[in-house]
Structure 1
Amino acid sequence: MLKHIAPLLLLTIFATHAIAEEPIATELKALSAQKWVWMADKDVEKLEILFHDKAKFVHMSGSWKKDRELEIIKSGSIWYKNANVHDIAVELFGDTAIVWNRITLVAVVRGKEVSNEFTVTEVYQRQEDDWKMLDLTFSSVRDSHAIEH
């Protein structure tokens, strides 16, 4: 009888763990969506709180740290005008989370409007009661690209 109970116990543990992760995944999806709004609105005060002091940002034209990303957003040298999110996935690893967004980004770069397909990888870490973004990486992809869930 024990051999029949053990698999059910394991299934219950895994199901309970998955149910417990769902509110956190929902919270991170909402935070990621809000981040796109803050970027479009050039709300560097809110982004400064969200971005970890040692955060890294990887773009098509280079990589840089938090201060430069905030200056780029504030100055409008890159204006994240609209991020149309087609798909989003979240994976949790303890206090660290990875959020993948498949987006069409309309941006104004050095005064010229451009549209690009990206998968954006965001790495977050829970610090006390807040999530801090550690990394934001844009990967150029085809519009047929899909995030594997």
Structure 2
Amino acid sequence: MKKIILCLSLFILANQLVLAQNSSEEQQIIELSNKKWEWMAAKDTAKLSDLFHDKSVFVHMGGAWGKEREVNIIAGGGIWYKKADIHEVSVEIIENTAILLSRITLLAEVGGNEVTNPFMVTEVYIKMDGDWKMGSLSFTKLNSPG
């Protein structure tokens, strides 16, 4: 039991050190990205519409389009982002622009078929009037999960 508590304590400490290495603004972007995956899984198009900039672009394996089509696809179930397992994440902030890269395994339902794919996802956020808006979301399929 002592070993389990010690291991758990070390795990929590390691996570806190990793989080401390990110600036508060970088951490804010990571948390916003995590919420976005939750909203996508829940098909919460109201929150997603608020997050997506009106001129945002989305790049998928099947093409590229803007905010209105992305929201409609999510609302209609054309793509249901069921679960994103995030393996790695990094954030770079350049003035009012944040670029988040994440390596994920995505469980989704596309056209009624459940699929799992490894992706490198690029998310671009722009800070406008104190709020972060998503300007771009791009999926690059990886040849292998690792």
Other-structure match for 2:32: 31
1:72 aligns with 73
* SS of the residue 2:43 aligns to: coil
Asked which structure has the greater CA Rg, the reply is: 1
Equivalent residue letter for 2:39: W
Alpha-carbon separation, structure 2, partners of 1:27 and 1:33: 10
Identity of aligned residues (%): 49
Give runs of aligned pairs for residues 1-149 of structure 1, distance below 5 A: 22-141=23-142, 142-144=144-146
Unaligned runs of 5+ in 1: 1-18, 145-149
Which TM-score applies when normalising by structure 2? 0.84
State the AA in 1 paired with 2:56.
Answer: A
SS at match of 1:71: helix
Number of residue-to-residue matches in the alignment: 126
Per the normalisation by structure 1, the TM-score is 0.82
**Residues 90-112 of structure 1 deviation map (CA, whole Å, 9 limit, x = unaligned):** 00100001001110000000100
The runs of 5 or more residues in structure 2 that have no matched partner are 1-19
- The Cα of 1:56 is off from its aligned counterpart by 0.2
Quick one: distance in 1 between partners of 2:66 and 2:53?
10
CA distance in 2, matches of 1:98, 1:65: 18
- Runs of at least 4 residues off by over 3 Å: none
SS at structure 1 position matched to 2:23: helix
